[in-house]
């Protein structure tokens, strides 16, 4: 194919365009990376070798005709037929061009942050920093590495999911195994680094909003879809709970059916809380889904459990589940002004800032402070309400707003010590121990009495069966 000939033909046909349209056409011609970014974001039919890009109304043109690999062919004036060519509407072109401009600004920032002369080197340096020095990542670092999100989104999401599974395994082992002091400290530091890296990658892997990656990774696996954020939620810390929920909210409709189903399937309280957190993020992020999410959460008491274990959870903790659901519905109705005020109040409270200190700190920094807190967000009612509030307040925000500017991050940076990881692990451990205590469980019925879960079956054939007790 003679691409040089195509380009010459294209330039010779610019007289078919008005002056403003010529300017746009030449911008695309001079910036092949922009054209490739547009074509990469358009779902082209496999058979489409050429594409018509509308410079005006999609139905009448004028149009640029380009090959699917980004070479210019010709211009079609207003009213000229595009035949069977796939047409990219002008509105889509403008939206993608705006995203490209933002991407270009982030790339420039990436080169400044790393001092690298090539994109490949800057990308590798930033990704290494996000993964290995996760608790010191600043807003500038995040913005810089996010320049590569359109290219690496699927890989980042897949890496996050692998990290989330590893977090659950590491947390379980660290709570149950006894290791020599040196080995335990090494493992605790690894857990700390993994938590931060997973939180960053959850945001980076989903911030583009492309749901195709989760479709490819999860397929029909509803359990994987409805546990997308659980690896981070299991830390019980606000700093990790909120990014996990934000990521689910960004994927929105792709994960909503799985999380709605989980409301009636979850058999453990923390799993159920993670489901509610995720639903709040989905409803807050996408206004068109808010009513559907509110209806699902509002039906908590009437919802029919899908298993005996799920029924037991609802029998033993029905009041708690109803209270959390009601609070979640309230958070869904919060407006943006309320969320700004809430973040400022929470930031001031968590970091002990009085009115005088608040007046000296930029508003965006005050609003970012809650997202850097390792405070408990899971193991009692007040903590759960804090998580719900922060998730609702953050769901519609850009992910970089959860990070502190570099100079502030350095000033507030916490030096890791083994106790920091131990504190995270102990929160879950203490809660699990109280949940195992007989005093908090409902009275056990006799073997031949109706099961307390409400299934109508005998206890020995329901929750008291060997299969149920072993599960």
Asked whether residue 94 is assigned to any structural domain, the reply reads: no
Q: Are 423 and 460 contained in the same domain?
A: no
Q: Are 26 and 162 contained in the same domain?
A: no
Domain that includes residue 457, residue range: 441-470
Q: Are 328 and 465 contained in the same domain?
A: no
Q: Are 252 and 274 contained in the same domain?
A: yes
CA–CA dist 272, 274 (Å, integer): 5
For residue 395, pLDDT over 60 is answered with yes
Choose between 14 and 191: higher pLDDT.
Answer: 191
Asked whether residue 193 is assigned to any structural domain, the reply reads: yes
Asked whether residue 165 is assigned to any structural domain, the reply reads: yes
Tell me the HSE value of 63 on the side-chain side, using a 13 A CA sphere: 24
Q: Are 288 and 409 contained in the same domain?
A: yes
Q: Are 16 and 130 contained in the same domain?
A: no
Query: In the block, which residue shows the tokens 């400290």?
Result: 185
What pLDDT does residue 442 have?
39
Q: Are 12 and 120 contained in the same domain?
A: no
pLDDT averaged over every residue in the chain: 81
Residue 141: which pLDDT band, with cuts at 50, 70 and 90? confident
pLDDT tens-digit readout, 397-454: 999 999 999 999 999 888 999 999 999 999 887 766 655 433 333 345 566 666 554 4
Asked whether residue 434 is assigned to any structural domain, the reply reads: no
Asked whether residue 95 is assigned to any structural domain, the reply reads: no
Q: Are 71 and 148 contained in the same domain?
A: no
Asked whether residue 93 is assigned to any structural domain, the reply reads: no
Number of domains into which the chain is organized:
3
Asked whether residue 436 is assigned to any structural domain, the reply reads: no
Choose between 111 and 10: higher pLDDT.
Answer: 10
CA–CA dist 259, 211 (Å, integer): 15
For residue 327, pLDDT over 90 is answered with yes
Q: Coil, strand or helix: which one is 298?
A: helix
Q: Are 63 and 163 contained in the same domain?
A: no
Q: Are 175 and 292 contained in the same domain?
A: yes
Q: Coil, strand or helix: which one is 76?
A: strand
Q: Are 389 and 451 contained in the same domain?
A: no
Asked whether residue 50 is assigned to any structural domain, the reply reads: yes
Calculate ∠ Cα 91-92-97, nearest 5°. 100
Range with lowest mean pLDDT among 175-184, 434-443, 458-467: 434-443
CA–CA dist 78, 201 (Å, integer): 45
């Amino acid at each position: 194919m003679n691409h040089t000939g195509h380009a010459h033909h294209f330039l010779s046909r610019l007289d078919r365009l008005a002056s403003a349209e010529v300017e746009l056409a030449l911008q695309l011609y001079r910036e092949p990376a922009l054209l490739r970014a547009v074509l990469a974001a358009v779902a082209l039919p496999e058979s489409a070798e050429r594409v018509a890009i509308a410079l005006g109304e999609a139905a009448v043109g004028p149009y640029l005709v380009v090959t699917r690999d980004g070479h210019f062919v010709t211009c079609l004036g207003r009213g000229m037929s595009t035949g069977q060519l796939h047409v990219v509407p002008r509105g889509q072109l403008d939206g993608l061009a705006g995203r490209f401009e933002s991407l270009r600004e982030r790339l420039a920032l990436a080169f400044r942050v790393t001092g690298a002369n090539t994109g490949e080197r800057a990308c590798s340096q930033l990704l290494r920093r996000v993964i290995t020095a996760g608790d010191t990542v600043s807003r500038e670092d995040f913005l810089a590495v996010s320049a590569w999100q359109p290219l690496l989104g699927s890989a980042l999401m897949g890496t996050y999911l692998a990290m989330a599974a590893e977090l659950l395994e590491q947390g379980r082992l660290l709570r149950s195994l006894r290791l020599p002091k040196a080995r335990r400290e090494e493992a605790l530091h690894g857990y700390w680094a993994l938590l931060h890296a997973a939180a960053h990658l959850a945001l980076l892997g989903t911030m583009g909003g492309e749901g195709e990656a989760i479709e490819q990774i999860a397929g029909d696996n509803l359990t994987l879809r409805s546990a997308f954020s659980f690896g981070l939620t299991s830390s019980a810390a606000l700093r990790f709970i909120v990014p996990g929920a934000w990521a689910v909210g960004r994927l929105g409709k792709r994960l909503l059916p799985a999380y709605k189903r989980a409301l009636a399937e979850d058999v453990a309280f923390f799993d159920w809380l993670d489901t509610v957190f995720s639903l709040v993020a989905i409803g807050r992020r996408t206004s068109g889904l808010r009513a559907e999410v509110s209806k699902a959460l509002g039906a908590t008491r009437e919802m029919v459990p899908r298993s005996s274990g799920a029924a037991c959870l609802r029998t033993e903790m029905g009041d708690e589940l109803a209270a959390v659901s009601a609070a979640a519905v309230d958070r869904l109705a919060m407006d943006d002004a309320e969320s700004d005020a809430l973040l400022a109040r929470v930031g001031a409270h968590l970091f002990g800032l009085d009115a005088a200190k608040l007046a000296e700190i930029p508003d965006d920094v005050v609003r970012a402070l809650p997202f850097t807190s390792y405070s408990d967000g899971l193991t009692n009612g007040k903590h759960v309400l804090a998580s719900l509030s922060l998730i609702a307040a953050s769901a519609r925000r850009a992910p970089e707003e959860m990070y502190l500017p570099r100079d502030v991050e350095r000033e507030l940076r916490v030096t890791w010590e083994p106790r920091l990881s131990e504190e995270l692990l102990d929160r879950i451990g203490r809660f699990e121990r109280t949940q195992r205590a007989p005093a908090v469980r409902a009275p056990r019925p006799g073997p031949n009495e109706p099961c307390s879960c409400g299934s109508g079956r005998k206890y020995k054939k329901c929750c008291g069966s060997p299969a149920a007790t072993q599960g």
